[in-house]
Amino acid sequence: MSAKPLTPAEIGAELRNLPGWSAEGDALAKTYQFGSFREAMSFMVRVAFEAEAMDHHPEWSNVYNRVTVRLRTHDAGNQVTARDVALARKIQEISWVG
C-alpha cells in the first residue's frame, strides 16, 4: 500500500463506503459501542491480529464498552493514506455492532 497521503476528495469518496467513519483532523475515526466490556475487548483483540498482519496499527482507546479508533499513517507525516482505508475496511468486517 502507498504511503502517499490521500486528498480530501479521495478521503471523502472512501468515507462513503465506511459507515460511521469520519475525517477528524488528519485521521479516520470511529467510535464503536458494544454490549459489554468483554465484547469491546474481544473486538480489540480481533482487530489487533489483523493490524499486526498488515503491519499498520491503530491509535485507539477503550472505556468500558466503547472503543474509539483513529487511523493515520505515521510514515506519511501522520496523514490518511490507502493503508488507513484498508485497515478501516478490515475493522468494519470484524465489527458486529456497525
pLDDT in tens, 4-33: 999 999 999 999 999 999 999 999 999 999
pTM: 0.93
d(CA 24, CA 30): 9
5 SS3 class: coil
Whole-number pLDDT of residue 20: 96
Structural domains in the chain, CATH included, are 8-94 (3.30.1360.20)
Residues 59-70: what's their mean pLDDT? 98
What integer pLDDT is reported at residue 81 of this predicted model?
A: 96
Q: Tell whether the model's pLDDT for residue 1 goes beyond 50.
A: no
- DSSP class per residue in 36-86: SHHHHHHHHHHHHHHHHHHT---EEEEETTEEEEEE-BGGGTSB--HHHHH
